[in-house]
């Protein structure tokens, strides 16, 4: 017979006693010591705007939350606020609102169009190209459950490099948001729109890679010899990868430019 020294419980086998000490005995010093040492200390970041500590794995979600945005906003002019915090590659986030009660998406954007155009023009003067998306927030009521909730409808990011394209971009965003709002209303969800709260415009950096750029591969990928990465510095750079595939059957060095003699086979003019 084996007796637990902590709780005085009896066991017929020694392995049962060992298992009990490691996993079940609340009074066992071994179990308590294991629990205190095995639990990792949670890493936290302190948010200056919200004045609270946030778990590191929840940090990016916190930056996107409405609570953080409300604490981070700066009023630029009536109806236009700037969210201070930058998330990832974001340059700036604008929040546009109005006092009028408008329940139609297109009419809502018509009222805000001048402010949106001014924001686009200001940012295009500072940056060559931008990635932009919009998110419209609405306040809804469900009479069947007597619940109020905020719903939002967003657009995919679009690239803009020219101020002449801004009106077309706004029209495209209006169509996307209007369709999403209509689909939500037609789902028989029971939600009724009470009013639109605000419109958020997220403006991100856009740095396109040039087609003629050569990016050197990391050493661990080069050592595998499984990728053709030709450094081609002439106008025929787009033909380099094509020719590299052709010469693989000849078992020559695909990196050397002297190996590329299949111009006529590729019918390059």
User: 163 and 97: one domain?
Assistant: yes
In a domain, 64, yes or no: no
Confidence band for 110, pLDDT divided at 50, 70 and 90: very high
Neighbours of 216 (CB within 10 A): 9
Helix (H) or strand (E) holding 112: helix 105-126
Query: What is the count of structural domains for the chain?
Result: 3
pLDDT in tens, 49-59: 787 888 877 87
181 vs 60, higher pLDDT: 181
In a domain, 50, yes or no: no
Q: What is the pTM of this model?
A: 0.57
- Helix axis angle, 166-185 to 105-126, nearest 10°: 140
The rounded distance, in Å, linking the Cα atoms of 50 and 19 is 47
∠ CA 92-96-98, rounded to 5°: 170
In a domain, 255, yes or no: yes
pLDDT in tens, 144-180: 888 899 999 999 999 998 877 889 999 999 999 999 9
The rounded distance, in Å, linking the Cα atoms of 222 and 217 is 6
Confidence band for 99, pLDDT divided at 50, 70 and 90: confident
Of 96, 53, 97, 47, nearest to 72 by C-alpha is 47
User: 156 and 92: one domain?
Assistant: yes
In a domain, 46, yes or no: no
In a domain, 246, yes or no: yes
38 vs 57, higher pLDDT: 57
User: 199 and 231: one domain?
Assistant: no
User: 199 and 264: one domain?
Assistant: no
> Please, is 172 exposed, middle or buried when counting C-beta atoms within 10 Å of its C-beta (0-12, 13-18, 19+)?
middle
User: 137 and 232: one domain?
Assistant: no
In a domain, 75, yes or no: no
Instruction: Quote the domain boundaries for residue 175.
Output: 88-205
In a domain, 71, yes or no: no
In a domain, 234, yes or no: yes
């Amino acid at each position: 017979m084996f007796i637990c020294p902590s709780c005085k419980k009896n066991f017929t086998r020694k392995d049962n006693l060992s298992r009990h000490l490691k996993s079940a005995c609340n009074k066992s010093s071994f179990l308590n010591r294991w629990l205190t040492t095995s639990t990792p200390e949670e890493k936290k970041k302190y948010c200056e705007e919200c004045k609270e500590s946030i778990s590191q794995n929840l940090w990016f979600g916190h930056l996107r939350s409405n609570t953080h945005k409300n604490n981070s906003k700066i009023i630029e002019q009536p109806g236009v606020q700037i969210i201070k915090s930058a998330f990832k590659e974001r340059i700036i986030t604008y929040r546009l609102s109005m006092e009028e009660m408008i329940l139609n998406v297109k009419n809502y954007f018509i009222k805000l169009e001048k402010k949106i155009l001014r924001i686009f023009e200001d940012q295009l003067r500072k940056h060559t190209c931008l990635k932009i998306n919009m998110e419209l927030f609405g306040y809804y009521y469900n009479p069947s459950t007597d619940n109020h909730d905020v719903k939002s409808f967003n657009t995919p990011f679009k690239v803009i490099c020219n101020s002449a394209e801004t009106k077309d971009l706004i029209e495209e965003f209006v169509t996307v948001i209007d369709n999403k709002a209509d689909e939500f209303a037609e789902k028989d969800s029971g939600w009724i729109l009470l009013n639109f709260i605000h419109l958020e415009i997220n403006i991100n950096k856009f740095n396109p890679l040039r087609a003629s750029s050569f990016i050197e591969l990391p050493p661990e990928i080069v050592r595998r010899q499984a990728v053709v990465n030709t450094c081609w510095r002439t106008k025929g750079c787009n033909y380099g990868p094509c020719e590299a595939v052709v010469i693989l059957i000849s078992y020559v060095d695909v990196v050397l430019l002297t190996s590329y003699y299949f111009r006529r086979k590729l019918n390059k003019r």
